[in-house]
């Protein structure tokens, strides 16, 4: 998930999720049976990197690369223009300082900076060492394309967050070459990563894609471990003021992890690592094939905070299915030089966000009321984003552009709503026997980590596996930006949806509309039945029930009037024509209005209830 999503969710949901929040895609070389560990020893031709974290001066990572046998085809050293699952321009070359290459005698070999992310070495065949410094992204300002924190890097006295693409590049033609990375760090620092470590202290990656797929958190960390369906799960946490421990997070997440195991039936990885960076700024999360990392605001631990973490982690954890096991060739053969979008973010992110919540519903971790409240919030955010010019397909294909980035966050909202509708439609067509969960499982078996689907053929493949009616569904709600028929779809399972609904309960209010004028709060309008009380337009409000307004703003006035009791009166002290008057007015009432309401329909028919039962228990 990306940083903008989580910032928005903090306001609207909690947060979400991640809202969710971003997908790291698997490379072709990753094998499901060996996903959590790399070969025991990298070949002698591996690229050997050394990252100095003991010297933290200038907020830069000092990087050395030891190489031999470079040829003309390897003359360009490439830094990442983007990274899988970020859906943003990164241009890491902007953060590089003093790039140098040396021969075996220590003599510097000339290099030319030929583009923002590329340095060309004049005599690559003589190079035995490449040396440079690269600034951390957290504290390095850039004029545009600020890197999402969970996809960036941080270097402080007590910890470091290290996403490989933010500091390590590769010689051209060597993206598939094995890497060995050693971190020179304080001896007391713990380290969390999905990469395996050899006896010499090097962390091993079978290629650059795998290294980027394996973030690293180091420093003053706590750790906790458990096992889910024979999968080893590790949690590493950096908490700035030690308010949160890995054991607390494991306690909060344990039921969700068990729920995910039941929902997925079998986890496709043998080891999974959660990395939590809890400091001052909420940002978001970034999932990878065998790990996920979270840059969130540190708070005192509470059940609410635990659920907030769990909702985010549920989304990221589900990515072990998509895109690890279901992805197109664009994801499989990732281009670090030029960002190339995939049309299927609805699958990678929308379906994942849907699954993160529905699996908690079906396992009993969330009540139906809680799940329906989540739907309401997603609908609210989608309506705020909604633009008929931006279908989910167009959002996906423009995600690297400025206009696409403005719409990107909606992939976690509209994308999840569309996935939920697709699940209902599949259940309806199959008589309650086969929903989106089952189709996703079938797709994972058909493709898997080593086999990609054809980017342009996937919609047709999905339809062939399911029903002809699904072709029209994709056309209307993925390829086009038509309004979502939520009322029609949720009626199929006996759930009523109303864009606006007034409750039977009455809420007290003053019956006045106010506005600021020259620093004073004045009456802008009033209920007509208050006219006999003597209230007039433009009266300056000075006190309510004798309580003087110390601040002339609507917020203060509203906080006082919100405490009114129905069927009583209140006094209003106003200034008019240089005189102060005290008026007595009857308290007004209004019916509470709610938007985008989902609730069980008391008028549901038998077949609707039967389909709802299948929907609720579809495990």
SS (H, E, C) 228-247: ECCEEEEEEEEECCCCCCHH
Residue 530 Cα distances to 230, 527, 564, 574, 588, angstroms? 70, 6, 16, 15, 9
Q: Can you give the pLDDT at residue 211?
A: 96
Q: Can you give the pLDDT at residue 458?
A: 96
Spatial CB neighbours of 58, under 8 Å, sequence gap ≥ 6: 97, 133, 135
Do 493 and 435 meet the contact criterion of CB atoms below 8 Å apart?
no
Do 319 and 265 meet the contact criterion of CB atoms below 8 Å apart?
no
Q: What is the pLDDT of residues 329-366, one digit of tens each?
A: 887 777 888 878 889 999 999 999 999 999 999 989 89
Structure tokens at 302: 């509470």
The CATH number of 511-586, from 2.60.40.10, 3.20.20.140, 2.40.160.20, 2.30.42.10, is: 2.30.42.10
Spatial CB neighbours of 567, under 8 Å, sequence gap ≥ 6: 587
By percentage, how much of the chain surpasses pLDDT 70? Answer: 92
Mean pLDDT across the chain: 88
Asked whether residue 186 carries a pLDDT value surpassing 60, the answer given is yes
> What's the CA angle centered on 84, arms 222 and 375, to 5 degrees?
75
- 265 band by pLDDT with thresholds 50, 70 and 90: confident
Instruction: Tell me the pTM.
Output: 0.73
* Measured distance CA(219)–CA(192) in Å, rounded: 9
Q: What is the pLDDT of residues 117-134, one digit of tens each?
A: 999 999 999 999 999 999
Q: Pick from 507, 506, 572, 501: which is nearest to 536 by CA?
A: 572
Q: Which residue has the higher pLDDT, 336 or 554?
A: 336
Asked whether residue 457 carries a pLDDT value surpassing 70, the answer given is yes
Taking residues 215-244, report their average pLDDT. 96
Q: What is the pLDDT of residues 24-51, one digit of tens each?
A: 333 333 333 333 333 333 334 789 999 9
* Measured distance CA(463)–CA(447) in Å, rounded: 16
Report domain 42-218's class.
Answer: mainly beta
* Measured distance CA(408)–CA(315) in Å, rounded: 17
Q: Can you give the pLDDT at residue 335?
A: 82
Domain ranges of the chain: 42-218, 511-586
Say which DSSP state 18 is in. B
Q: What is the pLDDT of residues 293-316, one digit of tens each?
A: 999 999 999 999 999 999 899 888
Tell me which range, 260-264, 494-498, 586-590, is most confidently predicted by mean pLDDT: 494-498
Residue 353 Cα distances to 266, 293, 318, 387, angstroms? 19, 16, 8, 21
The residues facing 275 across adjacent strands are 236, 293
Q: Can you give the pLDDT at residue 618?
A: 61
Q: Can you give the pLDDT at residue 268?
A: 77
Q: Can you give the pLDDT at residue 45?
A: 76
Mean pLDDT lowest among 85-99, 269-283, 321-335, 377-391? 321-335
Q: Can you give the pLDDT at residue 84?
A: 84
The number of CA neighbours under 13 Å toward the Cβ of 93 is 20
Q: What is the pLDDT of residues 362-409, one digit of tens each?
A: 989 899 999 999 999 999 999 999 888 899 999 999 988 888 888 988
* Measured distance CA(6)–CA(208) in Å, rounded: 28
């Amino acid at each position: 998930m990306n940083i903008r999503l989580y910032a928005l969710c903090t306001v609207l949901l909690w947060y979400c999720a991640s809202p969710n929040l971003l997908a790291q895609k698997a490379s072709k070389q990753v094998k499901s049976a060996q996903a959590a560990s790399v070969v025991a020893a990298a070949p002698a031709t591996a690229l050997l990197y050394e990252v100095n974290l003991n010297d933290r001066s200038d907020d830069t990572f000092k990087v050395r690369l030891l190489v031999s046998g470079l040829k003309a085809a390897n003359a360009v050293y490439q830094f990442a223009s983007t990274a899988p699952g970020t859906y943003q321009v990164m241009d890491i070359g902007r953060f590089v300082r003093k790039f140098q290459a040396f021969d075996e005698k220590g003599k510097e070999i000339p290099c030319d900076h030929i583009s923002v992310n590329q340095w060309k070495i004049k005599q690559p065949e003589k190079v035995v060492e490449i040396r440079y410094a690269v600034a951390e992204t957290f504290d390095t300002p850039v004029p545009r394309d600020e890197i999402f924190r969970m996809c960036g890097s941080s270097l402080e006295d007590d910890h470091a967050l290290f996403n490989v693409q933010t500091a390590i590049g590769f010689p051209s033609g060597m993206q598939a070459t094995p890497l060995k990375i050693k971190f020179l760090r304080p001896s007391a620092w713990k380290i969390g990563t999905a990469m395996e470590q050899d006896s010499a202290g090097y962390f091993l990656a079978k290629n650059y894609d795998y290294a980027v797929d394996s973030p690293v958190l180091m420093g003053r960390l706590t750790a906790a471990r458990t096992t889910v369906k024979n999968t080893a799960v590790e949690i590493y946490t950096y908490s700035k003021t030690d308010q949160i421990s890995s054991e607390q997070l494991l306690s909060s997440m344990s039921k969700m992890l068990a729920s995910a195991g039941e929902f997925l039936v079998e986890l496709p990885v043998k080891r999974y690592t959660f990395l939590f960076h809890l400091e001052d700024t909420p940002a978001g999360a970034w999932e990878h094939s065998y790990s996920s990392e979270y840059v969130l605001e540190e708070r005192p631990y509470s059940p609410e905070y635990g659920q907030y973490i769990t909702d985010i982690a549920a989304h990221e954890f589900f990515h072990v299915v998509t895109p690890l096991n279901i992805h197109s060739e664009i994801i499989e053969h990732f281009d670090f030089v030029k960002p190339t979008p995939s049309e299927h973010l609805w699958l990678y992110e929308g379906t994942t966000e849907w699954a993160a919540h529905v699996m908690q519903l079906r396992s009993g971790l969330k009540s139906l009321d809680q799940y329906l409240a989540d739907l309401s919030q997603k609908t609210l955010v989608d309506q705020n984003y909604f633009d008929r010019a931006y279908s989910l397909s167009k959002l996906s294909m423009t995600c690297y552009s400025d206009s696409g980035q403005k719409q990107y966050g909606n992939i976690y909202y509209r994308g999840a709503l569309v996935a939920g509708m697709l699940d209902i439609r599949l259940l309806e067509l199959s008589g309650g026997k086969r929903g989106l969960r089952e189709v996703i499982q079938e797709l994972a078996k058909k493709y898997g980590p080593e086999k990609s689907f054809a980017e342009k053929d996937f919609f047709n493949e999905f339809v062939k596996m399911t029903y002809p009616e699904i072709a029209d569904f994709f056309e209307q709600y993925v390829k086009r930006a038509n309004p979502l028929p939520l009322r029609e779809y949720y009626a199929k399972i006996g759930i009523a949806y109303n864009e606006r609904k007034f409750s039977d309960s009455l809420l007290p209010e003053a019956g006045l509309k106010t506005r600021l004028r020259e620093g004073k709060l004045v009456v802008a309008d009033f209920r007509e039945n208050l006219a006999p009380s003597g209230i007039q337009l433009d009266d300056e409000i000075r006190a309510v029930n004798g309580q003087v307004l110390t601040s002339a703003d609507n917020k203060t006035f509203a906080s006082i009037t919100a405490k009114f009791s129905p069927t009583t009166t209140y006094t209003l002290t106003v200034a008019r024509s240089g005189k102060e008057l005290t008026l007595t007015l009857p308290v007004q009432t209004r019916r509470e209005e709610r938007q985008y309401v989902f609730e069980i329909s008391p008028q549901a028919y038998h077949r609707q209830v039967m389909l709802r039962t299948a929907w609720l228990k579809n495990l």
